[in-house]
Amino acid sequence: MIVVTGGAGFIGSSLIWALNQRGKSNILIVDNLGTSDKWRNLVPLRYVDYMDKDLFLEGLRADVLPDNISAVIHLGACTNTLEPDGSYLVENNFKFSQALAGYCLNKHIRFIYASSTATYGDGRSGFDDDPEDLEKLRPMNMFGYSKHMFDLWAHRNNILKRMVGLKFSNVFGPNEQHKGDMRSMALQCFEQINTTGKVKLFNSDHADFANGEQMRDFLYIKDAVEILLFLLDNPELNGLYNAGSGKPRSWNDLAKACFRAMNKDPQIEFIDMPKEMFGRYQNYTCLNIERLRKEGFRHRYRSLEKAVNDYYENYYSQDSYLGDSPQEASQPPSRQKRRTIQ
């Protein structure tokens, strides 16, 4: 059995979609549905059971979880980069991860967890995923620091080499509709173009970047899932890895790709950045993905334009979720095994 925490969420439900395409449905979903619409992500999926996060945590601490768990993919955390409650973030992103990691290590269960590029802060210490560089990083918000706390804990206790951490970059794609203000800019662009015919982007707050030319390492959800599958297929691989494309693109590029996918002429308006984001905004991210490549990951990432077009044509314009489209079943993700680098 594979346990996916945050299984009703964006990346979690997308991973389960990919596992279903492989014919796997022996999956336990752990989440906290609350009052959001993320339950809709579960409708097309196949899994054996669902468990509320709090009940799962109780079962973990009482050691009464199923005894046939082979892997835990820990994607359940607070992903609000502007969350002001530090205690909440520590409990959800650090303490929960600690408890789950300890359980998996004691039971010899494969453990893969989501970190974040927010741990890199403004990038002055680079974007390399070498664990030895962790002490140099200075996150700019509490969300990034809560993720960094767990990376550091695992490294300092010499257990990072027995699990996998993935520093996900700006992931976007279907199944993120429930995320509210944390929806990707791609989805927000589609919505703004539909309602107003134009897209609003932040003015730059840094002299080195023109308006809209702040850059991000965008990662399409289907490419993000390929990384997770690769690490599931190769349990001998452990450590911390960047999960991005390695190719930074600007917000202007993203907005223009959205206009192009919707067959409309670009109309971009620049607005002032909210004061609460001053000094906490990443103007540039570009992940070094060489460590993952050296381990044999040969997946060809979709270009930003192709990814945006797939998102719009096959999901947003159809009001559908991963798992809804009958075409998806005929195009399962490749089962990629590690290849030795000579």
Q: Which amino acid is at 270?
A: F
DSSP conformation class of 303: P
Residue 82: the pLDDT is: 74
DSSP string, 68-97: T--EEEE--S---TT---HHHHIIIIIIHH
Of the candidates 181, 114, 172, 102, the residue with the CA atom closest to the CA atom of residue 148: 114
pLDDT in tens, the chain (342 residues): 999 999 999 999 999 999 999 999 999 999 999 898 999 999 999 999 999 999 999 999 999 999 999 999 999 988 777 788 899 899 889 999 999 999 999 999 999 999 999 999 888 899 999 999 999 999 989 999 999 999 999 999 999 999 999 999 999 999 999 998 889 999 999 999 999 999 999 988 888 889 999 999 999 999 999 999 999 999 999 999 999 999 999 999 999 999 999 999 999 999 988 877 776 678 889 999 999 999 999 999 999 999 999 999 999 999 999 988 655 543 444 455 554 333
The CATH number that domain 2-169+218-245+287-301+323-330 falls under is 3.40.50.720
Tokens of 247: 């190719």
pLDDT tens, position by position, 290-311: 999 999 999 999 999 999 999 9
Residue 84: the pLDDT is: 83
pLDDT tens, position by position, 211-232: 999 999 999 999 999 999 999 9
Tokens of 24: 């796997």
Note the Cα 189 to chain centre separation in Å: 19
